[in-house]
Structure 1
Amino acid sequence: MAHSETNRSREMEVFAQVVDQGGFSAAARVCRMTPSAVSKLIARLEVRLGARLVNRSTRALQLTPEGCAFYERVTRILADIEDAERGAGAGEQPVGRIRLNTSASYATHILAPILPEFLDRHPGITLDLVQTDMVVDLLAERADVAVRAGPLKTSSLVARKLGDTAMIVVGAPEYLSRFGEPKSIDDLDRHNRLGFGYVRKVDGWPMKKNNDIVVIPAVGRVQASDGEGLRQLALGGSGLARLAAFTVRDDIAAGRLVPVLEHLNPGDRETFHAIHIGQGGPLPSRIRALLDFLAEHGKVR
């Protein structure tokens, strides 16, 4: 029985490396095996499970739905084993690498100021920070945790709410002095409305109009891939931008940006969540430590 369990553990380790490294050859180098041996091991695993885990017909590694589900469980099992072994000799201190995917705005305004305290609390943890405003596939990006804004789709992801924030249209004083401060929706026609370079859930600026809410397209001469990029463009006087309040609060207080059209602001708020893969299963201690810390210190307001 012990020998069988050891083989299963090895199979899971090799399969996880195939996914993490993006192919058989790369996994073989990490596992100190030949690519042929890795391929045969995965084939035996698929036979034993009675399910195909990896599509071999494409040039790039592609997991089947069964492979994705198996990978989620395998990573949790291997993390639990690692935690148990390290905890026995490290006083249960969380250790290991965490891959965190988050927006540039959250990383700049929320995470950066609190990160030193997290690293001081957990000297055994290293953080791999990836910044993008695009919604990512955690499995494909090999992300342990992601901080995302906006409504969540129903999925196998587990979410922990980090708060919500108002949305504000702002412009730099220099820009407003040149083009005038808009007082109505019609006034926006003569303004450069800075927007995102990708499709979002609400692809425009919601505004009150009589008793309705209308969405004004964010059409302008400049687009950006993230909210922090839009903030920098607005600060430089390139146009108006609709941004999360927590990213521009200090700029407004210092007079670097000015809120406009507040009487037409519909009061919508953008919600932030920390999400991770899994449905209530045990979490590695390093992941749990980060989630608990973000819930305590990483609130968005």
Structure 2
Amino acid sequence: MDNRTGEIEAFLRSVETGSFAAAAKALRQTPSAVSRSVARLEARLGTRLLQRTTRSLALTPEGEAYRLRAQAILADLDELERSFVADKAEPRGRLRVSASLPFGLHRVLPILPEFMDRYPQVSVDLSLSDALVDLVSERTDVAIRHGPLRDSNLRARKLGSSRWVIAAAPSYLARHGTPLRPDELERHNCLNFNFRRAIEGWSFRVEGQWLQRSVPGRFQGNSGEALRLMAVGGAGIARLAHFLVGEDLRAGRLLPVLSEFTPGDSEDIHALYVGHQRLAARVRAFVDFLAERAAVSE
């Protein structure tokens, strides 16, 4: 590793760990050596990247901008070197995966036995929750997320997209009627999530424009699966991903409503993983497997 790359690595590790001492331990160097590397980097750039205090390090605005670019550069360099390694390591070790409850139940668990059979040296630790996890602090290898991506320091592999469907059980519609326009939802019980989402409200295309509308309801749940079960039970109207309710629609347990106001309403699904460190063979194998067997296009 040349001096320039070593200085970048010292800077990134210092930011990740919050101190020169912790970075030195991870890099098997002395704290003074790490501090000097960061100082040389700042001197060469002619700007302060870190604000030092007696207890912690904090990024300056210039440091934040440099961090994002530096992570991408080291990840690309790492990927380039791996591409020239002929003898790939066999995937092994514990793989920690986080997925939403619906995607985990309907897309991951059905194919997980095949993955574990294909890679017998890998053990899987799967957590299903619609809450977002921090991959670094939660020591998660792969997280499957829906909708717009926010974490610019993570690598993403798109698994496809799933359209949103607004649906209700025949029993509910028989009792309360079928809404014909989005504003008629004001008179219905709409089933909602109880956590903040990237895009709040339900999306409708009205007179050529997309609108976000808050909808009323007496039930909130923390997962799409909870909302699906309530909708199938006749409790109200839900807006859910097609991969989750497709079987219910085919079986007639749910009926679509307001479809003419939701053309093209969909969300992307990605597998996210930390990209600035050397990618473990088990992570690469699982992400490739998801792209092969869990792709969504509906």
Q: Secondary structure at the match of 1:106?
A: helix
* Shift in alpha-carbon separation, 1:298–1:45, aligned structure 2, 3 A: farther
Give SS of 1:141's match. coil
Partner residue of 2:251 out of 250, 254, 260: 254
Percent sequence identity is 41
Please name the residue that 1:193 is paired with.
190
Residue among 275, 287, 295 paired with 2:291: 295
Instruction: Check whether the contact 1:203–1:218 (CA below 8 A) recurs between aligned residues.
Output: no
Instruction: Check the 8 A contact 1:213/1:266 in 2, yes or no.
Output: no
Structure 1: which amino acid aligns with 2:211?
Answer: V
Is the 2:186–2:215 Cα contact (8 Å) retained in structure 1?
no
Aligned match of 2:137: 140
Q: 1:193 offset after TM fit, Å?
A: 1.0
What's the CA shift for 1:154?
5.5
8 Å contact from structure 2 (residues 185, 215) kept in 1: no
Take 2:57 and 2:131, find their aligned partners in 1: how far apart are those partners?
A: 22
State the AA in 2 paired with 1:296.
E
Structure 2 CA distance for aligned equivalents of residues 200 and 101 of structure 1? 17
Provide closer, same or farther for how the CA distance between residues 246 and 56 of structure 1 changes in structure 2, counting only shifts above 3 A.
farther
Specify whether residues 160 and 186 from structure 1 end up closer, same or farther in structure 2 by C-alpha distance, changes over 3 A only: same
**Structure 1 Cα separation of the partners of residues 250 and 217 of structure 2:** 26
Structure 1 residues 106 and 45, CA gap change in structure 2 (3 angstroms): farther
- Give the alignment's Cα RMSD to 1 decimal: 3.8
For 1:56 and 1:134, how far apart are their aligned partners in 2?
Answer: 35
2:227 is the counterpart of 1:230: yes
Q: Equivalent residue of 2:211, what SS? A: strand
Given the alignment, which residue of 281, 284, 294 partners 1:285? 281
Q: Is this contact kept in 1: 2:188–2:216, CA < 8 A? A: no
Task: Confirm whether residue 276 of structure 1 aligns to residue 273 of structure 2.
Answer: yes
Alignment of 1:1-301 (within 5 A): 45-50=30-35, 92-153=89-150, 155-279=152-276, 282-301=278-297
TM-score, structure 1 as length reference = 0.72
Provide the C-alpha distance between the structure 2 equivalents of 1:41 and 1:260, rounded to a whole number of angstroms: 58
> Residue 8 of structure 2 aligns with which residue?
none
Letter in 2 for 1:247: L
**How many corresponding residue pairs?**
254
In 1, Cα distance between equivalents of 2:147 and 2:58: 28
Is the 1:208–1:264 contact (alpha carbons within 8 Å) kept by the matching residues of 2? yes
- Cα displacement string for residues 8-67 of structure 1 (whole angstroms, at most 9, x for unaligned residues): xxxxxxx9xxx8xxxxxxxxxxxxxxxxxx9x9689843331179xx996xxxx99669x
Give 1:298 shift.
1.1
CA pair 143-56 structure 1, distance change in 2 beyond 3 A: farther
Q: Could you tell me how far apart the structure 1 residues matched to 2:160 and 2:57 are?
A: 34
Report if the CA contact (8 A) 2:167-2:256 is conserved: yes
Q: Cα distance, 1:112 vs. partner?
A: 1.2
Give the CA deviation at 1:131.
1.6
TM-score, normalisation: structure 2:
0.73
Question: SS at the partner of 2:127?
Answer: strand
User: Structure 1 residues 224, 168: CA separation in 2 closer, same or farther (over 3 Å shift)?
Assistant: same
Alpha-carbon distance, 1:209 to partner = 1.9
Secondary structure at 2:111's aligned position in 1?
helix
> Secondary structure at 1:273's aligned position in 2?
strand
Segments of structure 2 that go 5 or more residues without pairing to the other structure are 1-12, 39-49, 76-86
Distance in 2 separating the partners of 1:63 and 1:130: 32
